Structure 1
Amino acid sequence: MGVEMAAGEDISIRRKRLRYRAWHRGTKEMDLILGPFADANIEAYDTAELDRLEALMDEEDPPLLKWVMRQEEPPTHVDRAFLDLVIADHQARIAK
């Protein structure tokens, strides 16, 4: 029987794992979009918001980049409201 972690430790580990994934996507463009987004938001996210981030990060980089750059509309299964948060964050960073 394994040692069970407290809920706070579990979510802390999940945040670290998702932050790492955000910065190590496979394409530099998505690293530079999702990495800063995760850094700015992930500590405040609860389990439901982490689920939304993880679902978005499960998408492949090429279409995800096209959605963020507004070159293509995302398919209906994509959480558009959460994607819009990522897009707004990215646009605010490039506007500086």
Structure 2
Amino acid sequence: MTQEPENHEHRLKRLKMRSMRRGIKEMDILLTAYADANLGLMDGARLDLYDQLLHENDQDLYQWVTGQVTPPSPYTDLINHVAQTHQTK
């Protein structure tokens, strides 16, 4: 059975919801602010990377965003952007 590709608007809504409903409140706040400011501006490849990032453990994400631990290389730029977006609010 072949699954239909997800339409763009549905994908943005799904990613925003996953950004809002994390395991820890700190990540809810950080990722919701980032999603609100950036999801609509992202191309397909960037959305793919963000979708992958949302599958990571919240404790790891929090340590990466706060600079406690260096993020894995595929996420370095994205994590830096998430951290900067939150700092400017």
Q: TM > 0.5 between the two?
A: yes
Distance 1:51 1:34 in 2: 15
Q: Using CA pairs under 8 Å that are at least 6 residues apart, name the structure with larger relative contact order, 1 or 2.
A: 2
1:38 to 13, 35, 55: 35
- Name the structure 2 match of 1:13: 10
Q: After TM superposition, where is structure 1 displaced by more than 3 Å over at least 4 residues in a row?
A: none
Structure possessing the higher radius of gyration over alpha carbons: 1
Q: Which runs of 5+ in 2 are unaligned?
A: none
Does structure 1 residue 87 correspond to structure 2 residue 83? yes
Instruction: Give me the TM-score of the superposition, normalised by structure 1.
Output: 0.81
Q: Which runs of 5+ in 1 are unaligned?
A: none
CA RMSD after TM alignment: 2.0
Task: Give the structure 2 partner of residue 53 of structure 1.
Answer: 50
Query: Match for 2:61 among 57, 60, 64?
Result: 64
